Amino acid sequence: MKFAESKIIEQGQGKWTVTIDGQEWATILTKAKNRLKSNVEVPGFRKGKAPQKEVDKYLTPSKIFNEGFRMAIQPAFEFARNSDVKIEPMNSPSPVPFKVSEKEIIIDFFFDLRPEIKLGKYTGIKSVEKQSIEVTEEEIDTAITQYQQQFAMEKPKANDAKIAEGDAVTFDFKGYVDDVPFKGGEAKGHKLIIGSNQFIPGFETSMIGLGLGDNQAISVTFPTEYAPELAGKEAKFVLNITAISERILPNRDDELAKDLNIPGVENFEQLKEKIKNEFQTRKAQGLKAQFVNEVIGEIIKGSTVELPKSAIDSQVQEMKKEFEQEVQKQGLTLKAYKKATGLTDKDIEAEILGDAKAKLEGYLVTSEIKAKEKFEATEEQIDSKYQDLASQFGVEIDYIKNIIKPDQIKVELLNDLLNDFLYENNGK
C-alpha cells in the first residue's frame, strides 16, 4: 500500500489517500468475487448451486469492484492511521473511492481539519471554587432505611384500614387526560410501596388515606420533562385498591449489619461508617467532575478556537441522532415528538448548536493541554486499571482484556490524568 496526505484549505478539510495495487489488490478482488459467488441468487437454481456460466452473468465488474472497495476500507484505514501522519483529523474520516480498476484502487479518506488553537491560561484559575464535601445524617439514615427494606416483612392491614406512608399497596388503575384514557396509563394488580417515588410526583401522596375499594379517583399533574404528549397535563387516575399491608422493618442494630453480609462490616457502627465513606467518595467524584467542567469552561473563554462550519454541522447532526434515540426511549418517533411540541428540525438543531460548539471546543482545548503536558499512560497504570475493572465486575482479568482494548484504557487514563491535573492546579 502507498499513503499520501493533503489539505483542501478552501473547504477546511484534509485527505488521506491510500493506493492498493499489484498482487495485494488482486487478492482482494479474488476474495470479493468468491464472497459474491457464495451469496448470489440465480433464478431457477438453489443458492450456491447455479452453473458458473449463469453466476458470471450476475458478477459484473462493477459489483466485484464495489465489493472489493468495501473489503479494502478497513485495511486501508489502518494503514493510513499507522503511517507517518502529519495531518490529524478532527473527526472520523469518510472513505470515498477515487479510482478503481483491475490494476489498483485509490481510496480517499476525507475529514475536517483540526482548527488552529490559541490556548489560553489553563493553570492558576481562581474564579472557580472547590466545594467542600459534607455527608448529612439524613443521607446516612435514608441509606440505612434502604438496607432495612431488603428484610422487610409485610402484615396485611384490617379491611377498614387506610393507606399510610411506607405501606405496600396492591391496586388496579386507569388514567385519563381530559376524560380520555391514554396509552400506558392502565395496569392491574400493580404493587407499590408508598413513598418509594416510583410514580409521578403527587401520585403516592394522594393515595395516603384511601382504603380498600373500587372507583377511587386521584388527580395529578405530569412533570414538564415527561413524554411530550403528557408533559404538564393534568390527569385523573381511577383506582381499585385490593390489598394494603404494613411493612415491618428490622431493627437498626448489629444483626442488620450481619444479615447484609457486606465484607468488612460486622456491626452497626461499621455499617454507618461504610455508608458515610461511600457518600464521601461519590460526592468527591461528582464535585471534582463539576469543578473540572467549570475550569474547562473558563479555559475555553480565554482561548481562541476557530471551528470550521463543516465540523459544527457534523457535530450537530451527530447530537441530533443521539437526541432522537433519547426520544425513542420514551416510546416516540422524532416525527411524533415534533408534532407534540410544535418544534421543527431547525428549532431542534438551533437548540443543539450551542452544546455542539461547546463539546467541540472542550475536546480541542483538552486535547491541546494533554499534548502540551505530555501526559502518558504507563503499562503499570494500564494493568492496574484492568485489575480494578476485573475486581469491580467480579470477573477474571483476561475476560476484561478481551472485551476492552488497551487503547480504550489509555484514553480513559489520559482523561483521568487531565482531570487530576486541572483539579490540582486550579481553584481556591
What CATH number is given to the structural domain containing 173? 3.10.50.40
* 170-215 per-position pLDDT tens digit: 999 999 999 999 988 999 999 999 999 999 999 999 999 999 999 9
Same domain, 241 and 293: no
User: Does residue 310 surpass a pLDDT of 80?
Assistant: no
- Per-residue confidence band for 333, with pLDDT thresholds at 50, 70 and 90: confident
Same domain, 240 and 159: yes
Domain with 9 in it: what CATH number? Answer: 3.30.70.1050
Q: How much is the pLDDT for 337?
A: 85
Same domain, 336 and 389: yes
The one-character DSSP state at 314 is H
- Per-residue confidence band for 43, with pLDDT thresholds at 50, 70 and 90: low
Helix (H/G/I), strand (E/B), else coil: 10: helix
Averaged pLDDT, 3-22:
91
Is residue 426 within 8 A of residue 418, CB to CB? The reply is: no
What's the mean per-residue pLDDT of the chain?
91
Same domain, 87 and 30: yes
- Per-residue confidence band for 356, with pLDDT thresholds at 50, 70 and 90: very high
Q: How much is the pLDDT for 59?
A: 80
* Gyration radius of the chain over CA positions: 31
Cα angle 122, 128, 134; round to 5: 130
Q: How much is the pLDDT for 422?
A: 97
User: Does residue 122 surpass a pLDDT of 90?
Assistant: yes
Q: How much is the pLDDT for 44?
A: 61
The one-character DSSP state at 342 is -
Same domain, 287 and 397: yes
Domain with 399 in it: what CATH number? Answer: 1.10.3120.10
User: Does residue 252 surpass a pLDDT of 90?
Assistant: yes
Assigned domain for 96 exists? yes
Assigned domain for 129 exists? no
User: Does residue 53 surpass a pLDDT of 90?
Assistant: no
Q: Which domain holds residue 215?
A: 152-248
**Is the CA virtual torsion 177, 182, 187, 193 positive or negative?**
negative
- Per-residue confidence band for 120, with pLDDT thresholds at 50, 70 and 90: very high
- Record the cell numbers describing residue 206, joined without a space: 394522594
Domain boundary among 88, 114, 140: 114
**Is the CA virtual torsion 262, 264, 265, 270 positive or negative?**
negative
Same domain, 83 and 209: no
User: Does residue 45 surpass a pLDDT of 70?
Assistant: no
User: Does residue 47 surpass a pLDDT of 80?
Assistant: no
User: Does residue 281 surpass a pLDDT of 90?
Assistant: yes
Q: Number of folded domains in the chain?
A: 3
Least confident of 38-52, 178-192, 316-330: 38-52
Assigned domain for 84 exists? yes
Q: pTM for the complete prediction?
A: 0.69
More confident: 251 or 306: 251
Same domain, 278 and 331: yes
User: Does residue 240 surpass a pLDDT of 90?
Assistant: yes
Q: How much is the pLDDT for 12?
A: 76
Assigned domain for 406 exists? yes
Percent of residues, the chain, with pLDDT higher than 70: 96
Cα angle 413, 416, 422; round to 5: 145
Same domain, 99 and 214: no
Assigned domain for 259 exists? no
Q: How much is the pLDDT for 48?
A: 60
Q: Are strands 117-118 and 180-193 parallel, antiparallel or unpaired?
A: unpaired
Per-range mean pLDDT, top range of 12-16, 166-170, 351-355, 389-393: 166-170
Q: Around 369, how many Cα atoms within 13 Å sit in the side-chain half-sphere?
A: 25
Assigned domain for 254 exists? no
Same domain, 80 and 13: yes
Averaged pLDDT, 31-41:
82
User: Does residue 58 surpass a pLDDT of 90?
Assistant: no
Same domain, 235 and 375: no
Averaged pLDDT, 314-340:
87
Closest to 123 in 3D by CA, of 289, 286, 296: 296
More confident: 308 or 41: 308
User: Does residue 75 surpass a pLDDT of 90?
Assistant: yes
Q: How much is the pLDDT for 49?
A: 60
User: Does residue 241 surpass a pLDDT of 90?
Assistant: yes
Q: How much is the pLDDT for 392?
A: 83
